[in-house]
Structure 1
């Protein structure tokens, strides 16, 4: 992760669970807000989580010999990219519209979550969840 660009480092939340992800995106995001986290079920894979009301959509990102790619529910891998940053930026520019990816418009920068919101202080912490979700 340290070799990735500024965007990926700012939206990478580490080992947070799907419940915490949904809470973050519901509380601090809006349609098109997105973040990156570790997959809870696939080692060395990531989840790109995007808020598109009324849901948070989750897309697994895996690494293959060709590079990083999104994996669809059917197991089909989409176009490969050399870096996570390139993958995310490509989908932000609309490459995912033809494969049903929710629009990525607003990165949920974790450094912005240190500020007080609605009179309540929010503290970001990386946690490890043992929930049994699909991703």
Structure 2
């Protein structure tokens, strides 16, 4: 994640408008109405949503052509129900967490000094950050789209659903 500390390395004074809150604990987040556990209910028509893509695979996709501003959205590996907006800049991938509150609004962790904003949907969030100087290291420029007609995360669920399981009562031991 991008460091949210000022260049001096010290946290901004309490109550400062320039200070962003630290990533909340699960308990705090639930008390604030951020719902980590519920499905994110993403609109599946977002071509740049990649589901449970690993950080390593994400970096490979975004850095493949070396263009600044490549971006995608993926599920967080460490916080269930939280999304990550990942964007390439100068051969690095920056990750910003996207939280969804109980009212259905999205909030994104951005750099220090950027105002906190709420978005009614992810398209609105992306549209805002396609403009310069909105709080990301670089404006979003080139969506990295899901290439498969059946997304990876959906395909793995289909494969799991189609596996036949024997119950113990149907189990027959085969001897050599």
* TM-score over 0.5 (shorter chain): yes
Residue 25 of structure 1 and its aligned partner are, at CA, apart by 0.9
Match of 2:108 among 54, 57, 70: 70
Matched, 1:105 2:144: no
- Give the SS at the match of 2:117: coil
Matched, 1:44 2:99: no
Note closer, same or farther for the CA distance 1:100–1:3 as it changes in structure 2 (3 Å cut): closer
CA contact 2:111–2:135 (8 Å) conserved in 1: no
In the alignment of these two chains, the number of paired residues is: 113
Instruction: Extract unaligned runs of 5+ from structure 2.
Output: 1-39, 157-176
Cross-structure match for 1:4: 43
CA RMSD, Structure 1 to Structure 2 (Å):
3.1
Note closer, same or farther for the CA distance 1:46–1:57 as it changes in structure 2 (3 Å cut): same
More strand by share: 1
> Normalised by the size of structure 1, how large is the TM-score?
0.69
CA contact 1:92–1:103 (8 Å) conserved in 2: yes
Note closer, same or farther for the CA distance 1:12–1:98 as it changes in structure 2 (3 Å cut): closer
Structure-2 separation of matches of 1:98 and 1:43: 26
Structure-2 separation of matches of 1:45 and 1:56: 18
Structure-2 separation of matches of 1:30 and 1:18: 18
Structure-1 separation of matches of 2:98 and 2:115: 9
Structure-1 separation of matches of 2:124 and 2:69: 18
More helix by share: 1
Superposed CA deviations along residues 45-92 of structure 1, whole A, max 9, x for unmatched, are 100000112201110000124510102488x98200000111111111
Superposed CA deviations along residues 14-71 of structure 1, whole A, max 9, x for unmatched, are 1011111001111156211100000111121100000112201110000124510102
Which structure is larger by alpha-carbon Rg, 1 or 2? 2
Matched, 1:91 2:162: no
